[in-house]
Amino acid sequence: MRRYLDYYLTSMRMAILEQFQYRVANYFYMIGMVAEPVIYLVVWSTVAEAQGGEVGGYTPAAFAAYYIVWTLVRNMNIVFTPYGWEGYIQRGQLSAELLKPIHPIHNFLSFFAGWKVVVILFWLPLAAILSLIFKPALDFTWVEVVVFFFAIWGAYLIRTMLLTLLGMITFWTTRVSAIYELFFAFELVLSGRLVPMSLMPVWVQEIADWLPFQWTFGYPIESLVAQLPPAELWGGLGMQALWIGITTVMVAVMWRFGIRRFSAVGN
């Protein structure tokens, strides 16, 4: 499938060129986003110090590492918002994509992937500055770096599929705020975005094990900073692959029904 590879590379290149034009906006956005993890970091470091230096296996330095890497993973998690589907359909963009001899999801995947390349580049200096301020525990091996690299792209894929599923609900109804808000709330708590999952009560962790959320957020971070044993490190990639498979199948099935509905009315 040379044509697909060619398409992805060309599309990513275009996305990079486009996003570079918006580099200032990109930077401001990334800086604004830093507030959230910094707040979590300070709160939990305070708790850790009050509890004698560590809580849930995390020292303040470990929390710093967690939340700094958090900023990259958070950025990798940003994909086409399900709220955007209504406009995407109404402006005729979906129709335009349907005329092309390629599944529209490849457009999303390739475009945002290119954007992520820019994001990763911009993140490096930001991470350096944050490290100077918060002094994280920097203790990772090269193996972990490699796994981390694959894990963040795995997270990107899973989240793209999940949010595409959400967005496709728009084919049936535009009254979607409630569903989306609830989804994001659960995701916040069960993914490792709010706190490292090991700080959650055990019953919450058990529920989270059945859901894809922690594989989009907590696992990639932990693969780099939490010194996971090899079984968990590589097993995590396996779980990501599993969830990529599951969500892809779900998207494919829902797409068939969604497109049928769309083609009855069209735009």
Partner 1 sequence: MKRIFHLTFTFLRIGILNEMQYRVNFFIQLLQSFVALGTGLVGLALVFEHTTDLSGWTRPELLAVMGVHILMGGVIRAAIQPNMQTLANDIQQGTLDYALTKPVDSQVIVSVREFRLWQVVDVVMGFIVLSWAVVELQEGLGVVDALVFAATLVLGGIMIYCFWLMLTTSAFWIIRVYEMINLFEGLYAAGRWPVGIYPLWLRSMLTFLVPVAFAVTVPSEILVGQSSTQTLIGALALTIFLVVLARFVWSLGVRNYSGASA
Partner 2 sequence: MATPVIAVNGLSKHFKVPEREAGLKASTRALFKRSHRLVKAVDAISFSIEPGEVVGFLGPNGAGKTTTLKMLSGLLHPTGGQVAVLGYEPKKRDHDYLKQITLVMGNRNQLSWDLPALDSFELYRALYGIERSRFEKLRDDFIELLEVGDLVRKPVRNLSLGERMKVEIIGALLHTPGVLFLDEPTIGLDVTMQRRIRRFIAEYNRRYGATVLLTSHYMADVEALCKRVIVIHHGKILYDGALAGLVEQFSAFKKVSVTLSGPDVDVSGFGEVLERDGSRVTLRIPKAETSRATARLLSELDADDLTVEDPPVEDVIEQVFATEAA
Query: Scanning the structure block, which residue is given the tokens 């100077």?
Result: 132
CA pair distance 60, 63, nearest whole angstrom: 5
CA pair distance 242, 211, nearest whole angstrom: 11
CB nearer partner 2, residue 173 or residue 210:
173
Choose the stretch contacting partner 2; rule: CB under 8 A; options: 93-101, 139-147, 178-186, 208-216. Answer: 93-101
Choose the stretch contacting partner 1; rule: CB under 8 A; options: 12-20, 68-76, 177-185, 223-231. Answer: 177-185
87 interacts with, out of partner 1, partner 2, none, CB within 5 to 8 A per kind: none
- Written as six digits, the tokens of 64 are 């710093």
- Written as six digits, the tokens of 260 are 């049928």
Of the candidates 178, 231, 264, 265, which one interacts with partner 1 according to CB under 8 A? 178
Of the candidates 98, 102, 145, 182, which one interacts with partner 1 according to CB under 8 A? 182
55 interacts with, out of partner 2, partner 1, none, CB within 5 to 8 A per kind: partner 1
95 binds partner 2 (CB under 8 A): yes
The DSSP letter of residue 55 is B
Under 8 Å CB-to-CB from 121, ≥6 apart: which residues?
none
Site track 20-39 with partner 2 (rule: CB under 8 A), x = hit: -x------------------
CB of 177 to partner 1, least distance (A): 5
Q: Which of 151, 152, 185, 183 is nearest to 167 (CA)?
A: 183
Give the other-Cβ count within 10 Å of 91's Cβ: 11
242 interacts with, out of partner 2, partner 1, none, CB within 5 to 8 A per kind: none
Of the candidates 5, 24, 99, 231, which one interacts with partner 1 according to CB under 8 A? 24
CB nearer partner 2, residue 23 or residue 135:
23
Distances in Å between the Cα of 59 and the Cα atoms of 30, 66, 98, 181, 235 are: 26, 10, 51, 32, 25
125 binds partner 2 (CB under 8 A): no
CA pair distance 93, 91, nearest whole angstrom: 6
For residue 53, the surrounding DSSP H or E stretch is none
Q: Which residues bind partner 2 (CB under 8 A)?
A: 3, 6-7, 9-11, 14, 17-18, 21, 92, 95-96, 98-102, 260, 263-266
